[in-house]
Amino acid sequence: MEVSNVLGTGFLEKVYENALNIELMASTLTSTHKID
């Protein structure tokens, strides 16, 4: 997925989760937030 390609490795899961949610909001896809 483009999010991991742009960010690369070494970040906490929450960083990727937030970036993915932003990417999904910019597209026509929808998502739900994970509740910890």
d(CA 13, CA 11): 6
Residue 34 banded pLDDT, cuts 50, 70, 90: low
pLDDT given for residue 4 in this prediction: 73
- DSSP letter at 29? -
Backbone angles phi, psi at 24, to 5 degrees: -70, -35
Residues with Cβ within 8 Å of 27's Cβ and at least 6 positions away in sequence, in order, are none
pLDDT given for residue 1 in this prediction: 61
Average pLDDT over residues 7-18: 88
Average pLDDT over residues 8-36: 80
d(CA 28, CA 36): 25
